[in-house]
Every structure is written in structure tokens, then in C-alpha cells.
Structure 1
Amino acid sequence: MALIFRALVWLTTALLGLSVITVVTVYYLASRSLPDYDKTIAVPGLTGDVEIVRDNSGVPHIFPSSDRDAFFALGYAHAQDRLWQMTLMRRTAQGRLSELFGPRTVETDKLLRRLDLYPRAVQSVSSQDARTLDALEAYAAGVNARITEINRDSLGRGAPEFFVFNAPLAPWQPADSIALVKLMALQLSSHLKEEVLRARTSLLLPDENRLADLLPDIPGQGVAALPEYASLVPAIPDTTRFAEARPEPPFWPVADRGLAGASNAWAADASRSATGSTLMANDPHLEFTAPATWYLARLQLSSGGVIGATIPGIPAVMAGRSESIAWGVTSSYLDDQDVFIEEINPDNREQYRTPNGFKDFATRRSIIEIKDSEPVTLTLRWTDNGPVLPTTQFDLGTITPPGHVTALSWTALSARDTSMSAAIGLMYAQSVNEALEASKAYIAPSQNVTVIDANSIAMKLVGAMPRRDAAHQSQGRLPSLGWRAENRWQGVFPDDSNPVFLNPTGGIVGNTNNKIVDRPFPLHVSFDWGDSQRVMRWQGLMQGREVHTRDSFIEAQLDTVSITARALLPLIGADLWFTGEAAPDGTPERLRQRALELLANWNGEMNEHLPEPLIYTAWLRALQERLIRDDLGPLASEFTRVEPLFIERVYRDVAGASAWCDILRSAAEETCTDIARLALDDALIWISETYGTALESLRWGDAHQATHDHPVLGDVPILRYFVNIRQSTSGGDHTLMRGRSSGEGPNPFLNVHGAAYRGVYDFADPDSSVFILSTGQSGHFLSRHYDNLGILWRRGEYIPMSLDADLARAASVGVTRLVRE
């Protein structure tokens, strides 16, 4: 027995020792890639010496000898802090993820290869102006200088992830940065999915009023009724319209419906500012990740200092300020994509139909290398309208007739894309007018750019607007026949067709992804917009004061009142409030009464510490599910987030919309009050099972946690607790401080999409401007800068956005000196 005991002690000691050695080794290897911010290093490619001063928040302030050296240093700093993120984005754009991750990312690679984004980025390099070419080349040299340093000094391969996913790291190229802009365009695009969903839904809902209920036009001047999709295309087998959507593969670069893009931006001129100068606020919304997509940086250029939000891999401040102007971006929802149904020649499958007869597909072979598997060879096909997409992606198989394929027209497929030149041009602009002139080079992604200088404010939709024929069969809202000449694009509109608002009479301009113009097709911009709710709250806050300050703009940016809740609750609960006798404690009726009492006294504030937002949100979710599930079947799963205009149309019985309340498969005729009561019971059952029956103790923040998850390691057991950042948050789908819910899975109210960057700019005192990130500057989970800014972001706090060099040096955590080799 003693021998066995000693053996167990020895074994336990050995295992503990081995564990300690393993942990120490892993920590040592991982920590080797932590950048040293306080050093001097000789690098090739500089025209002079550069200082990179990291302030206490980890923001690099770059003081160069020339503009070229500024972009070199930005590339070096990006690679210090975010090399893995840059590599992953580049591989995504190239369609080369499977070389790292194996078969699970093949579908993603196939999509990117078919879209041909990277080759078109390579072609676009020569279209940039000389200043942008110089910046791209210098930036690439800075990234490569850091890669060379990592390899030479064995600096942990640059990031811990490279130990897990080992692959050669190719030098950075100017085309890589342009490819990332195109990848952003893909992540912000929504119209392909919207067209397919509208087609699928129209096949189930032939009544145009019911289709308008579920996919309504944003309020404003109406449009002519659309034709039924079934009348536009040859026969589609009945079974496809009921098919459930395929799950999306890992690293899928196209956002879920409702997550394709959002943001807020607004500006006030001197007449509406308490300080007598201009103000602006901007918070672009993207899917939350760890680290965030954005990276804060300051560059000292020949035109002056520039500071704001960059994207690692792209040598430009995408939203921020210079000494002369400030600018911000919001998703414009320009309809820049069209799906085309292409007829295959029945006698020759290598041809498709055009207005002038059958024509050969343009084809090219592409080989996808796959880790631990045989490579896959794709045959890429293009029509005059764009790349041919497989029926297995985007649910295209559900709306594609036999003997046909689908192709995509999209402005981001341009091989002469000058969007990078526009972004660089904005950094050098010295006035609103110069900024608007520089913006003409934008192609994709289309954005609303809000810009101010000390005296003027403006907002302009930038990006190429497709020119469609006025006789287009579906006006771009449904997949259309590719061989009909009237459906095909006729180039793009000139830049002066893009909406612009310069120094408006009211002194305030802004956008919450709402409808910005009401123009007839084809100058309409879009039929689908990203917001019909937040804008109402924004209007109230802007017009509620005669003049504004930086603090009032911050207050609006952090506002968590849901005007949607204030509007919908009286409608759906009209016949439920304060009715009937008090029910006994412990009964479902009593639980319902308690919930209604809480909601009756609630002001619509989506505060993380309150129970009412959780009860309201769960009720609306259950209500929409009951209204649409029996009519749509599996297709109801595409509508995972509450559609406020749909609920309002039903409960106001607009054009007979209350018909949704009657359950088709029941003998009784249910009223909307019945459905509201049943849905509230459904919600309370779910809440009780998940959080308990103590309604007063519920916290919205427990359900509405911001999910800054690592895109690769976030699902790895144990490790996920180190790399994922979760935070209890206020706000909701329809508040100005937007926190978009996931809508899926066991935790449907997780906050997955919101303002990963916030900035507020005051030209009365520019150095009092402020900004913040949702995570931190570093992509290294062992760095203190991995999540330090996220703590402030969650509390609604900011850090100074100052161009004062002495202030940056006074609070620096290190100075990196790059000297000529």
C-alpha cells in the first residue's frame, strides 16, 4: 500500500510539474510576440527617422520626417498590434482560409474566389493617384519591416495564433490594402440577401399587402406595386420555397440580415452650437469581435495632424479629424447589388442567353489548397452581369428555376476602384468643399460621409450609384432576368446625382441609416433602409435644444430610450392593461399581471439594470414568432429580429394586416389581443425557465451582453475565457446607443453588433474632442491593451482625441524610434 501511495504521489507531482512546464512554455512563447513599445530599431525604406509615441491608452502618435514615413510607421504599428487580424482579413479576401483551417472554410473560399475580389484589387492598384500609391507602398514596407523583425529576432511569430495555425506569412502588398476595402464592402452589403428573401417570401405570400406587411417600404412616398416574383421567372418547384436556409460556414464574410451595416452621425453648425463653432458625433456600427475592427492612431502629415479610427491593413483614417476638418461614416444602404437569373443554353451548357442570343461564359480555373485534404479546383464563370454564384449559397437554389443560374452585379467588383484614393484624399482635405471633392473617387462600399470644418457642415452619399433602366422589371428589388436589356445596368450615375446636404437651413444634418431622400426610381438610392426607428428619437433630441454642446452630442450618442417600445407597447397591450381581477400569487395569470404592471410604468429606457427591457423584448420576439410562423413555416426563421413596422401594421390593421393574428391551422378565429396575451405568456415562460420568476430582479444586461469574441479561438474550451470579452450593456435594436441582438440560439438577446468606435468632435476646442474603442488597441490577449478601452466604452466614457504632441509624450507607455538602416 505504501508503495502504491508513493507511486501516486510521484505521478501527481510529475503531472503537476509537467503542467507547470507546459503553462510556462506556452506563456513564454506567447509573450515573445508582445511588442516592445520602447526601443530603437533600424529599418530599410525610410526617408528619415520616425517616432511612434504610444500614449497611456496604447494609441500610437506618429511623428515622421515625411508623409511617406508616416504611412510606413502606421504599417509598422498595425503589424505590431494586429498582425493576426490583418493576416486573417487578407486570407479571407484572397479566398485562402482553407490553407489554415482545412475543409470547414472551403465554402467561404469558394465565394471569395467566385467574386474575384483580390484579382480586382490587384488591377485597381494602377488606378490610384500618385499620392495614394506612395502611401500604399510605404505602408506595405512598414508592415514588412515588422515581419522581417519578427523572423530575425524570433518574436513569437508575431502573434500567439500563428503557433496554432502555422503558415508562411507572405509580404504585404499594396493590393492587399485595397482588397480589405473590398472585403469591407462585402461585409456591409445587404441587397443580395434582401432580394433573395423578398423573392422567397413573395412565393409564399402572393397577396401583395401581406408581403408589404412583412417587408414594408420605409414610410415616405410609396412605390408602385411590385410584380409577383413567380410572374417574372420560369416555374420553380414548389418544394424549394419551403426550404430552410442553409447554415453559413465559418468566417462567412457576408453579414446576417440586419447586421450588414449601421451607424450614427450628426453635425451642428455655429447657429446650433453653444460655442459658436461646429460639432459632430459619429459611431460606426460593426459586428463585435476581439479585438475590434477599428484601431486608433494619429499621424502627423504635411497637411497637419490627423487622428481617428483606422482599420489594420488599410493606411487611412476612416473616421476622425484633422486640424481642419472632421468626418464620419454611416452605412448608406445604396442599392448597389442586383441578382440576375441567367438562362443556360439547353444545347450548350457553356453558354448563357443575352439580349443578342447565346454567348459563352467567361471562365477561369482556380485551385483552393486545403490543409490536410486534397485541393479543390473551381471553374469560375462570369456573365456580362457579373460572377455566377452557386445555388448552394445565399439560398439561391430556392429561387433559381431549373436550367438557369444566378449572377451578381455589384459596384465593388470594379477593377478600377479608386475608393482608397478617396479615403487618403479625405485625410488631406482642408475644408468641407475639399472633402466633398475628394469623396468623388469613392466606389464601394457606399457610405454617407458627414464632414465639418470650423464654419460648415455637410453630409453626402458617396460611392457609385448603379444606373438602372426606368423600365426595369423589378426595380432592383427582386432577382430579374439577365437577358432582358431593360434589367441590365447601364453604367453608373455621375457623382452629382449622389444626394448631398450642405449647410442646411436648420443647422443640423445627420443620419441613423434612415431614408435620406424620396426620389423616384431609378434615382431613388434604395427601397431598403437600415432604420425607421432610431431616427425619430434622434430628431426629438436634436430639436429639443436650440443649441448643442459636445456633452449634449455625447448624451445623444449614449441614449438608450427605445421610441419603438413607447410606440408598440400601447398598441399590443391596449386590451390587456389593468383588466380582470387580481390573480392568486404563483399562477401564470399573476405573473402576467406583474409583467404588465412593470411595463405600464416603464419609460422605454433600455437600461442594463432594469427588468422591463427584457420582458418587453422577449414579448415582442414571441409575438412576431406567433404571427408569422404558421404563414411562413421554416421561412419564419429568416425573421429572427423584431420588425417594428410589421408589428405596427398588424395592430393598426393597415390594409387588413390584422389577418396575421388568425392562426390558419386552428378552427377558432383568434384576435390580435389573443395573440398578444399568448405571446406574453410564451415570453414569461421562457424568462422563468432562463432567469427565474422574480421579475423585479431581472437585469436586461444579463441577457444583453456584448459579445466581443475572438473569431478563431473564441470557441476553444478554457482559452475562450482569456480571449473573449463579454460585457453587460444597455441599449437595444432600436436605440441610438444601438446594441443589435443576435436573434438566434439559446441566448437570442446577446449584443452582437454596435458602435465599436465612438467619436465626438468640437471645433470650438478641437483638442477637447474625444473617442473610444469597444475593446483595446492590441490583438494580443496577454497585453493590457487587449481590453482596457472596453471598460471605459461599456461605461459610456471616452479618452482625449488630442493632437497635442506634448500631451501624448507626457502620458506615454513607450516611444519606438524607427531609424534609417
Structure 2
Amino acid sequence: MAVVFKWLMRLAATCVVLVVLGVCMVYYLASRSLPDYDKTLEVPYLTAEVEIVRDNANVPHIFGQSDQDVFYALGYAHAQDRLWQMTMLRRTAQGRLSEVFGTATVEIDTLMRRLDLYTRAVASVDAQDARTMQMLRAYATGVNARLDEINTSALGRGAPEMFLFNAPVSAWRPADSLAIIKLMGLQLAAHLDEEVLRARMSLALSDPKRLADILPDAPGGGVAALPEYAQIVPGVTRFAENTMLPQHPLSPFKRRIFAGASNAWAAAPSRSASGGTLLANDPHLEFTAPAIWYLARLELESGGVIGATIPGMPLVLSGRSEALGWGITSAYMDDQDVHIEQLNPDNPEEYRTPDGFKRFETRGSIITIKDEAPITITLRWTDNGPVLPGTHYNLGSITPPGHVASLGWTVLSRNDTSMSAAMQLMQAISVREAIRVAEGFLAPAMNLMLVDRSEIGMKMIGAMPRRDAGHQSQGRLPSPGWIAANRWQGRLPYASNPEFIAPNGGIIGNTNNKVVDRPFPNHVSFDWGDTQRIQRWQRLMQAREVHTRDSFIEAQLDTVSFTARALLPLIGAELWFTGEAAPEGTPLRQRQRALTLLAGWSGEMNEHMPEPLIYAAWLQRLQQRMIQDELGPLAAEMTHVEPLFIERAFRDIDGASVWCDVIQSAPVETCADMARLALDDALIMIEETWGPALETLRWGDAHQATHDHAVLGEAPLLRYFVNIRQSTNGGDNTLQRGLTKGTGPDPFHNTHGAAYRGVYDFADPDSSVFITSTGQSGHLLSRHYDDLAQLWRRGEYIPMSLDEGLARAASVGVTVLRPRR
């Protein structure tokens, strides 16, 4: 027995030693790719010495003798910190994820190939101006210099993920940067999904009037009545089951609710306490670890520029120079149209046009799949755009037999000069010059918020399709592609894009709200991204005669829900303080306790309070009860509460209260009945998940920000190291927006919001501040992987200074790049 025990101990000790050695080996290999920020390196194709000074937040401040060298160094810095992220963005745009991840990403690659974004990016290289091409080449050369350093110095393949996945990295090209702009456009696109959903709703609802309830127009002007979808496209008599978009974390295909948002506002000197202009911007995108944003400062020949970049693109997308500040929000311009194309019954390789049948433009495309045989797909294009599969955005459910669906979209331009326009923006010195140079920006459409030292302005940038006044659906529904009036007729002039310069009130803002009320076809859009946050923003801006940097920060971080304040009195009108006192432990007593808490609540979506959780659960269950019987399977598409729908029903606008009656039941239910039943549902869900003690609930326990690694975020054990989870304030409709997941076992997880915040003060530019939601590094072993995360969660910022002395004084390292002899 003693001998057995001795050998067991030896075996156990051997296993422990092997595990320790294995961990040490893994750590050694992973740590080899940790960047060294304090070094001198000789690199090819550089014209003069460049310094990359890293401040204590790891923000690179880049100093060189020419713009070309500065952009070279930016490419090098991006590749130092975010190589894995950059290569995944490029592979996504190319439709080449399956080479690394196998069958799990085939659907993503297939859809990306059909959209043909990367081919369009390659074609757009020739459309750039000479300076932009010079900077794109310099940036790509800088990225490749880092790749060369990794290969020659055995720097752990550049990122820990490279050891886990066989992802060979090819040289960076200018087209790769152009492709990432187009990929950004895909992530912000919402109108394709909106058109298809509207068509499906039209087919599902027995009363066409109810479509205006569930998919309401933003307030401010009416819309002429439209025909039902079945009248526009005969032959569609039913809708199919929901088909989900690709669910892989790397998928760029987002549901319409996650198609981008943002806040931006500006104050003129007359509305600023300091006498200088102010600008605040916080673009909203899906949370990831690392965040999509990367902070950087570039010392260009025209002066310093500092702000938020996206690795892979040599652009400061939101930031400031000495003379100009700029920010961006999603414009929600209707730049997508779905066309239903009729196939030739005698030749399915042809489709119908206004001039007869015409052959599809076709091309084969081979998708290489890890550990599987490659597959070949045939890409088809019509005059209106690429043909998409019926499984994409449920297109098959609204496409009659003998037809296919194609997509018209401004992002698909082969002559996309958006990169050149954005490059020129960084050199602009005034609001009016910035608006002028932004004319070449085609897609994605955005609102460009601008301030110089004396003036403020906002311009919607992006190509606005020219539609015929006789368009059958006005772009709101898929329409027959063979009817000339339904086809695009070029682009409206840039002057047609909404523009606001130096308003009398001295303040401009946008929360993705409706910005103009113009008749079709100059309407910009029928679908806008916000009807709620704008109400709170207006109140905050009007509450002060003058504003400061700090008041703009307070507005960015504001967590009071106008929606809660507006809807709770409405849905609880017949429930507040009514009925006899109920015994402890009964559902009625729990309901009374919840109503008492909500009655004294200010609407602040504070992470430490129970009321936001009760409110959110109540509204979610209320909408589900109201729509389930009318919409059936389509109810699953409505994952988030539509406040205007709830209001229309409870105010019985145009008979909308019929949504509260359950069709299948004999009694006629009222909206008060629905509200009571939904509250009971919500309280049961809360008790099952968080316990019965309502007073001890914390909204932050449910509303955790999920900064998850796109590939390793679901891996056992590793997910605890790569994911960043935080209790957060805010909600779907607060200025500090924390858009909830909406589905699954954690429907209130915060998955989409302001991963970048910046506030720029031109009375004292060096007091400007910014922050991102994770950290500068994408390396999980770096202390800069998540060092900004807690600052972001607490609503804190770091300085946004162009003072070289401050950057050097707080330096954590200086990288000197020298031309190779």
C-alpha cells in the first residue's frame, strides 16, 4: 500500500509540474507578443525619424516631419495594439472568416461575398485623391513594418489569439482600410431590415391601420397612406417563420435595433459660460473587448489632431484639432431599398427590367473552409444591386415564387470617396470648410456635428438616393424592380442634405432623432433612431442659459428616462394606490409593493436602485402580452419596447387600444387589464431570477455591460480573463444609453452603447476630455487591456491635450522609428 501511495504521489507531483510548465509555456508564448513601447527600431520606407510617445493611458502621440511618416507610425501603433482586431475586421469584409473558424462562419462569409463589399473597396482605390492615396499607402506600410518585426523577432505571432487559431496574416493594403469603412456601413444599416419587417407586418395584420401602431412614424408631420404590401407585390399570401441572422460574435449583420445610434451636441459662444464653443459626442456601437475605438494623437503638418480612431483606418473619426472639433451620429438616412426581381419563366438566368428581360451579372466565388472542402457560390447582380438569399433578413418570407430580392445601397459604390473626404476633414479649420470637404463622403450616412472657435453647425453627410415621386412604396416596402419609378435615379445634390449652421438658439444636437420634416422624395427617411432621448436632451439644454464642459458631461452621463416618466403614469393610471391591503406573501401584496416603489421613483435608471428593473420588466412583459396574439411568430421580432406603440394603445389613438384585447379570449380585455397582468408577469420573472425582496434589487445586477471578446468570449475558463463585465447605469432610452440585449436568459444585459465619449471645449482646448470603454490594448495580458474600463463605468474621462510637453511628462514609453539604412 505504501508503494502504491508513493507512486500516486509521484504521479500527482509530475502532473502538477507538467501543468505548471504548460502554463508557464503558454504565458511565455503569449507574452512574447506584448508590445515594447520603449525602443528604437529601424524600419523600411520611412523618410525621416518618427516618435510615438505613449502617455499614461497608452494613447500614442505621434510626431514626425511629414504627414506620410505620421500615418506610417499610426499604422504601426494600430498593429502593435490591435493586430487581431484589424485582421478580423479585414477577414469579415473579405468573407474569409471560415478559413480560420470553419463551418461556424460560412453563413457570414456567404452573405459578405454576395454583398461584394471588398471588391467594391478595391475598385474604390482609384477614386481617392492623390494625398489620401499617399497616406493610405504610408499607413499600410506602417502596419506591414510591424508584421515584419513580428516575423523577424519571433514576437509571438503578434497576438495571443494567433496561437489558438491558424490565421495567417497577409500584408495590409489600402483597399483593406476602405473595406473597413464599408463594413462600418453594414453594421449601421437598418433600412433593409425595416422594409422587410414592415412588409411582413403588413401581411400578418388583419387591419392595415394597425401597422402605424406597431411601427409608428416619428412625430412631426404626416405620411400619405401607402398600399398594402400584397398590392405592390402580388403572390405573397403568407409569412414564414423567423430566420435568424448569423449569430457568431464576429457577424457584422445586426438586428435593426442594434444598427447604430449616437449622441452629439454643440453650443455656440453665446450659450457657453466660457465664451468658447463646446461639443460633446458619444457614438454608440456594440460593446466588445477590446472596444472598437482606439485613441490617438497625430501631429500633422496642418497641426495636431486627437480623438477616436478605428484600427485599420487612418482616420480620426471623432475628435478635434486646434481649430475644429467634429463628432458623428448615425443619420438614419434611407440609403437602402429592397427590390423584388421577377425571373424569366423561360430562362432563370434573366430578370425583368423596364426594357424587358436581361441577364444577371454573375461571378463565381470560392469560400475556403477550415477542415472542410471549399464551396463555390454564384454571385448575381441586377441593375438595382446584388441578389440576396431568401434566408437573409427573412427576405424569403416576402418574395413570391419566381422572384428574387436584390438590394440597392449606397455603400456598394465602386467610386466611394468617403476616405478622401474624411481625410480632408482632419485638415479643415472651420465649420464651413468642413461641410464643403465632406461632400465626397458617400456612406455610411452620418450627421457631422462641428464647432470651430466661433461657430457651430451640423451637416448630414452621405449620398441620398434620388427616388421618383411616383415610387410605389416611397422606399418603405420592397417594391418591384422592373418598374422604372421604383428604381433609383442617381443621387440628390449634396445641398439637399439637411444642414444647420449658426442657429439663433446657439445650440444644435442630435440623438438619432428626426431632423427634418420634408415631403417625399426629399424626406431623408421615414424611420428614425430615436423619439425619446431627444426629449430629455431638450430639457437639459433649455434648463441652462449657458453651458460648460461639465454640463455637457452631465448630459452625456444623464440616466433619467423620459420614457419611464411618460409611460408609467399612463399604464398605471388605474393601478396606483387602489384596492384593499393584501396579506403578506400574496401576488397582490407584491404588486402593491412594486407600485409603491415606482410611484416615488424619478425615472433615474440608476444601477443601485430596484425601480429600473421593475419598470423594464413590466414594460417588456406588457408589450409581449399586447402583440403576441396579433403577430404570432412575428412577435419575436419585437425584442425591445416601442414607447410610441405603448402610448398609442393606452391613449387609444386611432383605435389602437384594440391591441389590449386578446383575440382568442371571450372577454374584452382593457389596457388596464393588460398592465395589471403584465406587472404580475414581471414580478414572477424577477422573483424567479433575483428573489422576492423588491427593495434589495439592483438594476446593475441585471444591466451589466458585456464587453466580450468576439472569439474567446464564450471559451471555458478563458472567458473570465478576456471578457469585461460591469454593473452600469442607463437604459434603452436614456442619454447615457445602455441598450439591453432584449432576448435570452439575460434580456437586460447592456450590450450596445457609448464605447467612446468625448467633450471638446474651445475656450480651453486642453481641458477637453475623452474615454473609451475598455483600454487601448487588445492584448489580454496587457495592463492597458481594461485600464480605462472602470473610469468609463464611473463616468470619468482622461485629458484630450495637444500639449506635447504633457504627453512626454506622463509617458510610459517612447518608440522611435528610424529609416532603415
Letter in 1 for 2:244: R
Which residue of structure 2 aligns with residue 725 of structure 1? 724
Counterpart-to-counterpart distance in 2, 1:805 and 1:203: 62
1:18 deviates by 1.1
Counterpart-to-counterpart distance in 1, 2:163 and 2:738: 34
Letter in 2 for 1:804: D
1:246 deviates by 2.8
Which residue of structure 2 aligns with residue 537 of structure 1? 536
Which residue of structure 2 aligns with residue 246 of structure 1? 244
Which residue of structure 2 aligns with residue 774 of structure 1? 773
> Does structure 1 conserve the Cα–Cα contact (< 8 Å) formed by 2:245 and 2:392?
no
> Does structure 2 conserve the Cα–Cα contact (< 8 Å) formed by 1:124 and 1:416?
yes
Which residue of structure 1 aligns with residue 17 of structure 2? 17
Which residue of structure 1 aligns with residue 187 of structure 2? 187
Which residue of structure 2 aligns with residue 409 of structure 1? 408
> Does structure 2 conserve the Cα–Cα contact (< 8 Å) formed by 1:270 and 1:455?
yes
Which residue of structure 2 aligns with residue 819 of structure 1? 818
Counterpart-to-counterpart distance in 2, 1:237 and 1:376: 34
CA offset digits 1:532-571 (Å, max 9, x no partner): 0000000000011000000000000000000000000000
Which residue of structure 2 aligns with residue 760 of structure 1? 759
> Does structure 2 conserve the Cα–Cα contact (< 8 Å) formed by 1:67 and 1:301?
yes
Letter in 2 for 1:538: W
CA offset digits 1:553-612 (Å, max 9, x no partner): 000000000000000000000000000111111111101000000000000000000000
1:667 deviates by 1.0
Which residue of structure 1 aligns with residue 448 of structure 2? 449
Letter in 2 for 1:248: P
> Does structure 1 conserve the Cα–Cα contact (< 8 Å) formed by 2:243 and 2:391?
no
1:257 deviates by 2.2
> Does structure 2 conserve the Cα–Cα contact (< 8 Å) formed by 1:150 and 1:158?
yes
1:167 deviates by 2.6
Counterpart-to-counterpart distance in 1, 2:244 and 2:731: 27
> Does structure 2 conserve the Cα–Cα contact (< 8 Å) formed by 1:307 and 1:321?
yes
Letter in 2 for 1:360: R
Counterpart-to-counterpart distance in 2, 1:524 and 1:301: 39
More divergent stretch after superposition (615-624 vs 114-123): 114-123
Letter in 1 for 2:263: N
Matched, 1:178 2:178: yes
Which residue of structure 2 aligns with residue 48 of structure 1? 48
Counterpart-to-counterpart distance in 2, 1:625 and 1:312: 40
Matched, 1:596 2:595: yes
Matched, 1:692 2:691: yes
Counterpart-to-counterpart distance in 1, 2:551 and 2:768: 13
Matched, 1:639 2:603: no
Counterpart-to-counterpart distance in 2, 1:278 and 1:344: 57
Counterpart-to-counterpart distance in 2, 1:756 and 1:575: 40
Provide the secondary structure at the position in 2 that maps to 1:395: helix
Matched, 1:786 2:814: no
Counterpart-to-counterpart distance in 2, 1:198 and 1:206: 14
CA offset digits 1:304-358 (Å, max 9, x no partner): 0000000000001000000110000000000000000000000001000000100
1:497-576 map, 5 Å = 497-576=496-575
1:269 deviates by 0.2
Counterpart-to-counterpart distance in 2, 1:699 and 1:233: 50
Which residue of structure 2 aligns with residue 92 of structure 1? 92
Matched, 1:308 2:307: yes
> Does structure 2 conserve the Cα–Cα contact (< 8 Å) formed by 1:45 and 1:820?
yes
Which residue of structure 1 aligns with residue 577 of structure 2? 578
1:242 deviates by 4.5
1:390-469 map, 5 Å = 390-469=389-468
Counterpart-to-counterpart distance in 2, 1:561 and 1:245: 36
Provide the secondary structure at the position in 2 that maps to 1:753: strand
1:2 deviates by 1.3
1:151 deviates by 0.3
More divergent stretch after superposition (163-172 vs 768-777): 163-172
1:516 deviates by 0.2
Counterpart-to-counterpart distance in 2, 1:524 and 1:208: 23
> Does structure 2 conserve the Cα–Cα contact (< 8 Å) formed by 1:267 and 1:457?
yes
> Does structure 2 conserve the Cα–Cα contact (< 8 Å) formed by 1:559 and 1:735?
yes
> Does structure 2 conserve the Cα–Cα contact (< 8 Å) formed by 1:105 and 1:249?
no
1:103 deviates by 0.9
1:293-332 map, 5 Å = 293-332=292-331
> Does structure 2 conserve the Cα–Cα contact (< 8 Å) formed by 1:208 and 1:225?
no
More divergent stretch after superposition (245-254 vs 213-222): 245-254
1:236 deviates by 2.0
Provide the secondary structure at the position in 1 that maps to 2:318: strand
Structure 2 residue runs of 5 or longer lacking an equivalent are: none
Letter in 1 for 2:121: A
More divergent stretch after superposition (206-215 vs 267-276): 206-215
Counterpart-to-counterpart distance in 2, 1:356 and 1:153: 62
CA offset digits 1:657-679 (Å, max 9, x no partner): 11011111111111111110000
1:438 deviates by 1.2
1:104-503 map, 5 Å = 104-238=104-238, 241-250=239-248, 251-503=250-502
1:7 deviates by 1.9
Counterpart-to-counterpart distance in 1, 2:541 and 2:206: 42
> Does structure 2 conserve the Cα–Cα contact (< 8 Å) formed by 1:188 and 1:254?
no
> Does structure 1 conserve the Cα–Cα contact (< 8 Å) formed by 2:230 and 2:237?
no
CA offset digits 1:670-725 (Å, max 9, x no partner): 11111100000000000000000110000000000000000000000000000000
CA offset digits 1:369-389 (Å, max 9, x no partner): 110000010110000000000
Provide the secondary structure at the position in 1 that maps to 2:34: coil
CA offset digits 1:231-263 (Å, max 9, x no partner): 11121253xx14123352422212122110100
Which residue of structure 2 aligns with residue 3 of structure 1? 3
* Runs of 4+ residues over 6 Å off in structure 1: none
Counterpart-to-counterpart distance in 2, 1:167 and 1:625: 43
CA offset digits 1:746-797 (Å, max 9, x no partner): 0000000000000000000000000000000000010000001111000000
Counterpart-to-counterpart distance in 2, 1:332 and 1:28: 47
What's the TM-score, normalizing by structure 2? 0.99
> Does structure 2 conserve the Cα–Cα contact (< 8 Å) formed by 1:309 and 1:757?
yes
> Does structure 2 conserve the Cα–Cα contact (< 8 Å) formed by 1:317 and 1:427?
yes
> Does structure 2 conserve the Cα–Cα contact (< 8 Å) formed by 1:144 and 1:172?
yes
Provide the secondary structure at the position in 1 that maps to 2:426: helix
> Does structure 2 conserve the Cα–Cα contact (< 8 Å) formed by 1:188 and 1:445?
yes
Letter in 2 for 1:442: F
More divergent stretch after superposition (317-326 vs 161-170): 161-170
Counterpart-to-counterpart distance in 1, 2:433 and 2:303: 15
Letter in 2 for 1:245: T
Counterpart-to-counterpart distance in 2, 1:11 and 1:567: 68
1:361 deviates by 0.4
Which residue of structure 2 aligns with residue 70 of structure 1? 70
Change (3 A) 1:642 1:296: same
Structure 1 residue runs of 5 or longer lacking an equivalent are: none
> Does structure 2 conserve the Cα–Cα contact (< 8 Å) formed by 1:242 and 1:633?
no
Counterpart-to-counterpart distance in 1, 2:11 and 2:636: 53
Provide the secondary structure at the position in 2 that maps to 1:267: strand
> Does structure 2 conserve the Cα–Cα contact (< 8 Å) formed by 1:351 and 1:360?
yes
Counterpart-to-counterpart distance in 1, 2:81 and 2:802: 21
Counterpart-to-counterpart distance in 1, 2:169 and 2:799: 36
1:394 deviates by 1.1
Counterpart-to-counterpart distance in 2, 1:356 and 1:209: 36
Counterpart-to-counterpart distance in 2, 1:58 and 1:114: 39
Counterpart-to-counterpart distance in 2, 1:237 and 1:489: 27
Which residue of structure 1 aligns with residue 38 of structure 2? 38
Provide the secondary structure at the position in 2 that maps to 1:73: helix
Letter in 1 for 2:498: P
> Does structure 1 conserve the Cα–Cα contact (< 8 Å) formed by 2:75 and 2:140?
yes
Letter in 1 for 2:85: Q
Counterpart-to-counterpart distance in 2, 1:510 and 1:168: 45
Which residue of structure 1 aligns with residue 669 of structure 2? 670
Q: Number of residue pairs matched? A: 819
Letter in 2 for 1:235: G
